[in-house]
Amino acid sequence: MKDIEKITEQLKREIHEKAILYISEITAKYPGLSKKETDAIIKKLEADISIAKEGDVLTLLTLKSSTEQDIYSHIIDMENIEMLPDRIKIGNTLYRGFIVVANPQKISFGVFHQLLKSKNNMIIAMHVSPESSINMVHHLRSELGTVEAKLNYFALQGKIVGKEVDGLRDREKFLKDKIEKFSNGMLKAFKLHFTFAVEETNADDLDFTTNKAVAFLKKIGFVVKMAINYQKDVLKTLVPSGANFLRRRPIIVTNNFMSDSFPFVK
């Protein structure tokens, strides 16, 4: 028994030096060993050090590579995807997506810088697509027609002053000004899709950060809607690929709005 232990210790040193050992080498070196004893030695070697037995060869698995592999496999195991109506969980990260359905007329420059500065852990995607000025002019002319018809109706009724008429006259002036600017190329329109997602590690933080971000957006005049049941599409839209997987009506903005929402500032 003592001899087996002594032989095992010698073989351990040998494997560590050479990283490989043939079973035939053991029998050649220690001719007095029976098959049972040789098996016992190999079993002991396998229990004490990391070795792989393949046929007649014992290969030393370096301690480092096997443990690295173990750690790596544990980390990889954490990657799993769970879809829920109001969030998506990937590994240990939760995402909750929401979209903007209406925008304010005007925003202050660098507004998204303020939003990002306050550590809201928010991913923002803006899909910007130029809209034809002719389409815009047509759209505004049709709206102007409605306003003028209303004004004519009031004039026939004998109403030429009053709150309602003043409001319509202001709208008429505003629309005429816009039509002129779009026709002259002084204004340009864009179709814009705003998509947001909050990224957090637990549900409480996700709720807190979402509420904080939504409150901020509402304060500056955006109308926000949670993308319930569309979380996967939100995430796909946020990944930089140019594609928009959320089929919804865009918001129409001008170049002035786009300049103020220019996000590449710090």
Partner 1 sequence: MTKKSEQIIFNIKDKGKGEIDGIWTLTDNSIFAVLEVAPIPFFDLKEEKQNELKKKINEELWMKLDFPIEIVIRPVNCSADKKMAILETVLGYNIENTNKTKLIQYFHSFMNWFKEYAAKNVRDANKYYIVVNYNSPYDAVQKDKSAAVSILRSRINFLIKSLKASGITEIKIMSTFDIEQIYNSFLKFHVYCENKYMFPDDWINLFKKRGENERH
By CB under 8 A, tell whether 52 contacts partner 1.
no
CA atoms within 13 A on the CB side of 170: 7
Instruction: Output the smallest distance, CB 190 to partner 1, in A.
Output: 8
Stretch that binds partner 1, among 36-44, 89-97, 150-158, 211-219 (CB under 8 A): 89-97
Which region, left, alpha or beta, applies to residue 4 given φ > 0 means left and ψ of -120 to 50 means alpha?
A: alpha
Stretch that binds partner 1, among 39-47, 148-156, 167-175, 198-206 (CB under 8 A): 198-206
> What is the Cα gyration radius of the chain?
36
Name the residue among 67, 66, 54, 50 with its Cα closest to residue 15: 50
CB of 35 to partner 1, least distance (A): 30
Q: Is residue 249 involved in binding partner 1 (CB under 8 A)?
A: no
Complex with partner 1: residue 158 or 242, whichever CB lies closer: 242
- Judged by CB under 8 A, does residue 84 bind partner 1? no
| Residue found under tokens 């005007």 | 106
**Residues 261, 104: contact at Cβ < 8 Å?**
no
The only residue of 87, 175, 178, 190 in contact with partner 1, by rule CB under 8 A: 190
Annotate 150-216 with DSSP letters as a single string: HHHHHHHTT--SSHHHHHHHHHHHHHHHHHHHHHHTS--EEEEEEEEEEEESSHHHHHHHHHHHHHH
Residue 188 in contact with partner 1, rule: CB under 8 A: yes
**Are 96 and 86 spatial neighbours (Cβ–Cβ below 8 Å)?**
yes
The binder of partner 1 chosen from 24, 93, 142, 152 (CB under 8 A):
93
Of 113, 138, 141, 159, which one interacts with partner 1 (CB under 8 A)? 113
- CA pair distance 25, 28, nearest whole angstrom: 5
Distance in Å, CB of 42 to partner 1, minimum: 20
List the structure tokens of 260.
């103020």
The distance of closest approach from Cβ of residue 139 to partner 1 in the complex, given in angstroms and rounded to an integer, is 19
Query: CA-CA distances (angstroms) from residue 251 to 71, 96, 191, 248?
Result: 48, 21, 6, 9
Residue with smaller CB distance to partner 1, 24 or 256: 256
With contacts defined by CB under 8 A, name the span among 3-11, 31-39, 106-114, 175-183 that binds partner 1.
Answer: 106-114
User: Under the rule (CB under 8 A), what is the footprint of partner 1?
Assistant: 63-64, 67-68, 70-72, 74-79, 81, 90-93, 109-110, 112-113, 116, 119-130, 188, 190, 199-202, 205, 232, 235-236, 238-244, 255-256, 258-259, 262-266
